[in-house]
Chains A and B, each alone.
Chain A
Amino acid sequence: MAKVLMKGNEAIGEAAIRAGCIHFFGYPITPQSEVPEYLARRLPEVGGQYVQAESEVAASNMIYGAAGVGMRVLTTSSSPGISLMAEGISYIAASELPVVLVNIMRAGPGLGGILPAQGDYFQATRGTGHGDFQLLVLAPASVQEAVNLVILAFELAEKYLNPVMVIGDGMIGQMMEPVEFPVEGVGPPLDPGDWALTGCEGRERRIVNSLFLDPEACNRHNLKLKAKYERMAENEQRWELYNCDEPYDLLVTAFGMMSRICKTAIDDLKAEGTNVGLFRPISLNPFPYEPCRRVIDRAQRILDVEMSMGQMIYDIQLAAQGRLEIDFHGTAGGVVPSPDEVADKIRESLARIGRSPARKPGKRSAKAAAAQKSKSKRSKKTATAQKPGKRGGKKPQNAGKRSAARQSSARRHGRRSGR
């Protein structure tokens, strides 16, 4: 099949159709508005339904209803819109219905801004809505991968009867890249199985419900969900390793588009003779802790880079289990770290473990050399076991505005570099 050049948002819409999803409910919000725009035109062509809801709250209840009657269904939104959908998503998870959600993240918190960000990592992996439930969360790093993961998302949603979220930043929604759709035409409709409400004439009635007033019954239901999440954790971990075949001292961790920027920085450093590995989770939940730990064990230090103030870093900590110091570099508000900026942060991290990073001409190399000199007297062991408290009282620049909890977590992370 020939490659076509498509905007991420449009490709996501087309991927849903190829997966057999011809029902969409949603509400426009930048930077994902091209998904509803595209589907508003395309769905009538394939005999589907496009409904622009009156709000995201309504959209989430519409997908709840449509999934309940056995329709394969999609909604897409961006950060504040997902917050509005949170209640419905919790109900859908509790009722064990297969829906696919796409979050094309923008800057936050609050109304934030419309430019790319990754600040919804916690929301997607920890607390999309109330109660004990989990989403399966997939994070693409290219338009092609977004297509593949949207198609996979429908499969997984139906396999586990659980909502699946595909999460990307504004860049992936807005950029164009060549894509190849793995299937032609419109996929077959969803098999309503033994759960969908399709009319109970001639069979026992089915109930789609999330209300369990009997505590024992509600507890049993939660145990059932827990068992499902454990199955997901066992079977659905996905990740990518980059440049990890050769020995490396530093492991960079990043997800989504940020990982591509890190790859370019890593390539640039490689051309200068410095080898740095990269770990990219593709499934943010379940997080691939064990695969991450395996590549951490071959490193001396970790640099986590995110377009947020530090969210995935908690999962990296869980994977590292205190073995290594973790440096962090993050931006927010729609500021995207450039490959050069990431390369500089890699040099700083390497200097902290006394590794001689490739020099870059100009003032930065002098800075890096000075930093390296100050650390070079320490043995490798003391450098990695170094306690944050020994930093000579050097506080992060904006420490005064942080809560005590944030400060202590910042110390746990090692140095947090502000911009």
Chain B
Amino acid sequence: MAGTEVLMAGFGGQGMLLSGKLLAYAAMNEGMEVSWLPSYGPEMRGGTANVTVCISDKPVGSPYISRPMALLVMNQPSLEKFGPRVKPGGLIVVNSSLVPIEADRDDCTVIYIAANDLAKEAGTARAANLVMLGAYLGWSGVVDKKTAVKMIEKEFAKKAKFIPANKAAFEIGFAEGFKAKGGKR
């Protein structure tokens, strides 16, 4: 893999910036070059938030990407805004628990994941962001599953009681993504 870019978008507080951070951490731990560029508008919790993660085997050029390879969306405005920008042949993961519309792209793979419902099954609806990250990695295999799980354990080390539910949410998402890929990569 030469490199890829992922745009993760949702409302502030939904945890997409954290999902991006976990992905960047995992890729860095696998020896890749990474950048994590958040939107930092004057929004508060509930406003829109997004982050672009670039992963490459060379130093990352522009961390600001207009056409990402993959898009993970947690709300409708983000899908409407960023959906058309995904590169042809790319991936769009839509949280269908919260996004009532479909992605208007027939040149991309679109996966619909009921991330909030699946996260609730895993133990907490708040881990929907990890279901989304899991689905992305299950489909793309950008980083190893084990590395990502290790990053989740590290990130929640100070709040250990949240680790099981977050790990479970990630695993469920991963399985969904892997299934969408046809069970092989």
Q: In chain A between 171 and 203, which residues have their CB closer than 8 angstroms to a CB of chain B?
A: 171, 174-178
Across the interface, do B34 and A261 meet the contact criterion of CB distance under 8 Å?
no
Beyond the given A175-B38, A257-B64, A260-B61, please list 12 additional residue pairs across the A-B interface where CB-CB is below 8 A. A5-B21, A5-B28, A31-B40, A176-B21, A176-B24, A176-B35, A176-B36, A257-B63, A260-B60, A261-B64, A264-B62, A267-B61
- Please classify how large the interface on chain A is, using the bins under 10, 10 to 19, 20 to 34, 35 or more: 20 to 34
Contacts A114-B42, A115-B41, A340-B67; A5 near B36 (Cβ below 8 A) = yes
Q: In chain A between 234 and 281, which residues have their CB closer than 8 angstroms to a CB of chain B?
A: 257, 260-261, 263-265, 267
A170: Cβ under 8 A from any B Cβ: yes
Contacts A5-B21, A31-B40; A177 near B60 (Cβ below 8 A) = yes
Across the interface, do B37 and A171 meet the contact criterion of CB distance under 8 Å?
yes
Identify the 3 closest CB pairs spanning chains A and B, nearest first. A264-B61, A338-B66, A264-B62
Minimum CB distance partner of A31 in chain B: B40
Contacts A115-B41, A176-B36, A177-B36; A3 near B66 (Cβ below 8 A) = no
A-B contact pairs, 21 of them (CB 8 A): A5-B21, A5-B25, A5-B34, A30-B40, A114-B42, A171-B63, A171-B64, A174-B37, A174-B38, A175-B37, A175-B38, A177-B34, A177-B63, A178-B33, A257-B63, A257-B64, A260-B62, A261-B62, A261-B64, A267-B61, A338-B62
Chain A residues at the B interface, C-beta cutoff of 8 Å:
3, 5, 30-31, 114-115, 142, 170-171, 174-178, 257, 260-261, 263-265, 267, 336, 338-341
CB distance from B75 to the nearest CB of A (A): 21
Candidates A3, A261, A341; contact of B28 at CB < 8 Å? A3
Contacts of A171 in B (CB 8 A): 37, 63-64
CA distance A114 to B39 in the complex (A): 11
Contacts of A115 in B (CB 8 A): 40-41
CA distance A257 to B33 in the complex (A): 16
Candidates B24, B42, B61; contact of A261 at CB < 8 Å? B61
CB distance from A287 to the nearest CB of B (A): 24
Residue among A176, A178, A339, A341 having the largest count of chain B Cβ atoms under 10 Å: A176
Across the interface, do A339 and B61 meet the contact criterion of CB distance under 8 Å?
yes
Contacts of B41 in A (CB 8 A): 114-115
Across the interface, do B64 and A338 meet the contact criterion of CB distance under 8 Å?
yes
B134-171 vs A, Cβ < 8 Å mask (1 yes, 0 no): 00000000000000000000000000000000000000
CB distance from B53 to the nearest CB of A (A): 9
CA distance A340 to B65 in the complex (A): 9
CA distance A338 to B35 in the complex (A): 16
Contacts A31-B40, A340-B66; A175 near B61 (Cβ below 8 A) = no
Q: In chain B between 15 and 74, which residues have their CB closer than 8 angstroms to a CB of chain A?
A: 21, 24-25, 28, 33-38, 40-42, 59-67
Contacts of A175 in B (CB 8 A): 35-38, 63
Residue among A174, A178, A267 having the largest count of chain B Cβ atoms under 10 Å: A178
Across the interface, do B62 and A339 meet the contact criterion of CB distance under 8 Å?
yes
CB distance from B133 to the nearest CB of A (A): 16
CA distance A261 to B42 in the complex (A): 24
Q: In chain B between 63 and 120, which residues have their CB closer than 8 angstroms to a CB of chain A?
A: 63-67
CA distance A5 to B51 in the complex (A): 15
CB distance from A331 to the nearest CB of B (A): 12
Across the interface, do A336 and B64 meet the contact criterion of CB distance under 8 Å?
yes
Contacts of A142 in B (CB 8 A): 59
Contacts of A339 in B (CB 8 A): 61-62, 64-66
CA distance A162 to B176 in the complex (A): 59
Contacts of A174 in B (CB 8 A): 37-38, 40
Contacts of A170 in B (CB 8 A): 40
CB distance from B64 to the nearest CB of A (A): 5
Residue among A170, A264, A341 having the largest count of chain B Cβ atoms under 10 Å: A264
CA distance A261 to B52 in the complex (A): 14
CA distance A140 to B40 in the complex (A): 20
Minimum CB distance partner of A170 in chain B: B40
CA distance A115 to B41 in the complex (A): 7
